[in-house]
Amino acid sequence: MPDKREFARRAAVRVLTIARISRHRRNGRGIRFLIVALSVLSLLAVGGGAEAYDRYQYYTRDLPDPQSLTAKELAQATKIYDRNGTLLYVKHTSGVIRTVVPLSAISSHLIEATIAIEDRQFYTHNGIDFRRIIGAAIADLTHQRVEQGASTITQQLVKSVLLGNEQSIDRKIKEAVLALEIERRYSKNEILTLYLNQIFFGHQAYGAEAAAQTYFAKPAKNLDIAEAAMLAGIPNAPSEFDPYNAEAAIAIRHRQELVLDAQPARVRHSPQGAARLQERHRPGGRARALVCRLRPPGPVRHVRPWGGRGRWPSGHHHPGLPAGEGRRGGRP
């Protein structure tokens, strides 16, 4: 009789085999999500006691530490000010535009819109929404195509920060296990803060603050309902819902409507919610100029990276350039 670890290994192989068969028979990933859900339940719950613990250990032995979510330094922009506090230039690192902000600095409209469209049961599940997984599977099988996603915000955070985009049943099981662990170690608001500072919004903008500045030239805390609905719809497919692509206008409007309709009636029927009937999906020209400003003003080009090591420290602020000099063009 095989030992418990061998049993877990064989069970995983059987699950993977079934998934491969179903992938050829069905045009959609819903059935695979259903298989993953049943796999996690059977491998982690069936048997109870020491056996369940052994299975859990089998899938967690090579996992990254969930605590590294907060230890991981997110790439941020370096901001350079003159001595009067006027912002002269924003130096972006590795093609990433990001400014990490607390949850209190993000509009409640964007928070509500994100939860409504990405993970409606966010505050009630423990990292995995099995009802949503099964619902997505049924929808996919009914329509013979992928109709809706099934990953929770916590699972999306795990995939984005800890595991990557590898498509396999093993990775999906590990994602589920890590999601459960993260929910155990972090509060819901901590998870939401990490997510809203990590998620990609297109045009090199990562996180809510960068997205608000990129598309509306305003802080994330000042987004109104219609603007928040547009931004919340982008991460699902940033290239498809690109506000700077005129050909995507219809798709963006449809997505914005979908986000608004997913929210409570008090939001949909508010005066700002009615703004979806206006051309609110068009970002301002000043925001576009901020994204495209690649060449720093004269004096800023002579600011040396911290410690002379040839690299800019993420998120560092460089004060003290003479007031007004940053506005001069050409050679200093």
Q: Which pLDDT tens digit goes with each residue over 49-83? A: 555 566 666 666 666 666 666 656 666 666 677 77
Across the chain, what does the average pLDDT equal? 69
Query: What domains can be seen in the chain, in order of their start residue?
Result: 4-62+123-185 (no CATH), 75-100+200-322 (1.10.3810)
Mode of pairing for the β-strands spanning 87-91 and 317-321:
unpaired
Select from 151, 150, 137 the least CA-distant residue to 179: 151
Q: Is the pLDDT of residue 285 over 60?
A: no
pLDDT of res. 302: 54
Q: Which pLDDT tens digit goes with each residue over 318-330? A: 444 444 443 333 3
pLDDT > 70: percent of the chain:
46
27-31, 168-172, 256-260: segment of lowest average pLDDT: 27-31
pLDDT of res. 92: 63
